[in-house]
């Protein structure tokens, strides 16, 4: 073991005699301890010392620069850094200078430790993790005495009533769950759409006519009665269920619909809410007629009944039957014929 003058006392494994769970470690097989340049060469040591000092002093310089840039750089000055782009000069300078100030203290300390502090290998012995047999036995004895003296073991009625009290205590937590609200009843199956309700644009609220649509047009729309409902109810629940996308394709492009006569001259409307977990979808590619959900890449084919062509969605998008009223505006012919949005417990 006498590979160098450093390890004559360090590389011994000390037997951990004080523990009964002691493991006899193998004799250490530490590699030969190689001295660093700074250990043997005073010039190298002086150089390392100088390098450490330079890092610490540079850190101080950057701290001063941070203070200077705080005062010198106006906050509304923006600079273009090649690559990342335009950013606030003040924030950029503060970040770089303060970051370097902290970083250089760290590198200086590491350099100091690596080059100059002692690097002797040391084996430190450990005793076992468990307490000694005597301590463990005395603790168990205490517990037994406590049980007997308190009467927990002999007074059955006290013990059982206490256990009963503890057992029923979680019950209110279950009961409080009823406050989550009444069961949804039909709320998830019905929306504000019904026969004769006109389509209005989102967010501008204009009525839509069939002649507004070119082949390839895409419009986000709502029912005209949504605004009134939201003024009464002050929440977005109805909007989440009624949002639709209206697109137009040629009759040849439109292969199937979910119902006979649900399109109006190639104008079709589908729920905007993904059937996977309910993200609003409007990434419509008008040449493939695919609608892509940005959340999990479910893809629906609007030319083919809104069927899923890719992704985790399990159900097709519900279609809204469209027609026009006597004034020539686009209207719904009925509500959706299947629940919109993600699947839910009672949907079946």
Residues forming contacts to another protein in the complex (CB under 8 A) are 34, 36-38, 75, 78, 81-88, 91-92, 95, 106, 110, 114-115, 119, 201-204, 208-209, 211-220, 247, 280-288, 290, 292, 294, 297, 299, 310
- The label of the residue with tokens 């199956």 reads 189
Between residues 93 and 197, which has the closer beta carbon with respect to another protein? 93
Of 99 and 146, which has the nearer Cβ to another protein? 99
- SS3 of residue 322 by DSSP: strand
- Cα–Cα nearest to 265, from 252, 253, 251, 255: 251
d(CA 222, CA 241) in angstroms, rounded, equals 10
- Nearer of residues 186 and 214 to another protein, judged by Cβ: 214
Whole-number minimum distance, CB 116 to another protein, in Å?
9
* Separation between Cα atoms, residue 17 and residue 76, nearest integer Å: 69
Sign of the Cα pseudo-torsion (323, 324, 330, 335, in order): negative
Shortest distance (Å) from residue 96 CB to another protein? 11
> Which CB sits closer to another protein, 19 or 88?
88
Least Cβ distance, residue 141 to another protein (angstroms): 49
Helix (H, G, I), strand (E, B) or coil at 40: helix
* DSSP symbols for 157-193: HHHHHHHHHHHHTTHHHHHHGGGG-S--TTTTT--S-
- Residue placing its CB nearer to another protein in the complex, 154 or 288: 288
**Cβ 340 to another protein, closest distance in Å?**
18
In 3D, which of 12, 14, 17, 13 has the Cα closest to residue 2? 12
Is the CB of 80 or the CB of 126 nearer to another protein? Answer: 80
* SS3 of residue 298 by DSSP: coil
**171 within 8 A of 190, measured Cβ to Cβ:** no
- Least separation, in Å, of the C-beta of 329 and another protein? 13
Q: How far is the CB of 257 from another protein (least distance, A)?
A: 19
């Amino acid at each position: 073991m006498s590979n160098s003058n450093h390890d004559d006392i360090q590389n011994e494994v000390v037997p951990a005699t004080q523990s009964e769970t002691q493991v006899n470690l193998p004799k250490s097989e530490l590699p030969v301890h190689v001295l660093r340049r700074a250990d043997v060469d005073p010039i190298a040591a002086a150089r390392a010392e100088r390098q450490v000092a330079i890092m610490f002093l540079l850190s101080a310089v950057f701290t001063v620069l941070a203070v200077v840039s705080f005062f010198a750089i106006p906050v509304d000055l923006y600079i273009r850094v090649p690559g990342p782009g335009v950013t606030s000069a003040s924030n950029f300078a503060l970040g770089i200078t303060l970051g370097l100030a902290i970083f250089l203290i760290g590198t200086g300390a590491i350099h100091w430790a690596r080059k100059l502090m002692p690097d002797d290998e040391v084996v430190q012995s450990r005793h076992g993790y468990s307490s000694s047999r005597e301590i463990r036995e005395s603790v168990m004895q205490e517990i037994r005495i406590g049980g007997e003296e308190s009467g927990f073991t002999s007074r059955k009625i006290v013990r059982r009533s206490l256990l009963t009290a503890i057992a029923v205590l979680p019950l209110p937590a279950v009961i409080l769950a009823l406050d989550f609200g009444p069961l949804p009843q039909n709320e998830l199956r019905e929306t504000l759409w019904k026969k004769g309700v006109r389509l209005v644009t989102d967010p501008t609220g204009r009525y839509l006519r069939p002649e507004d649509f070119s082949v390839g047009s895409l419009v986000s729309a709502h029912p005209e009665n949504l605004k009134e409902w939201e003024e009464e109810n002050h929440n977005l629940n109805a909007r989440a269920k009624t949002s639709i996308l209206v697109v137009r394709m040629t009759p040849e492009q439109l292969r199937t619909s979910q119902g006979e006569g649900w399109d109006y001259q190639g104008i079709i409307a589908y729920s905007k809410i993904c059937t996977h977990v309910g993200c609003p979808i409007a990434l419509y590619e008008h040449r493939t007629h695919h609608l892509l959900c940005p959340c999990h890449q479910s893809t629906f084919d609007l030319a083919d009944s809104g069927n899923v062509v890719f992704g985790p969605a399990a159900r097709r998008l519900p279609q809204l039957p469209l027609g026009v009223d006597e004034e020539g505006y686009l209207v719904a012919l009925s509500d959706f014929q299947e629940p919109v949005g993600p699947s839910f417990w009672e949907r079946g």
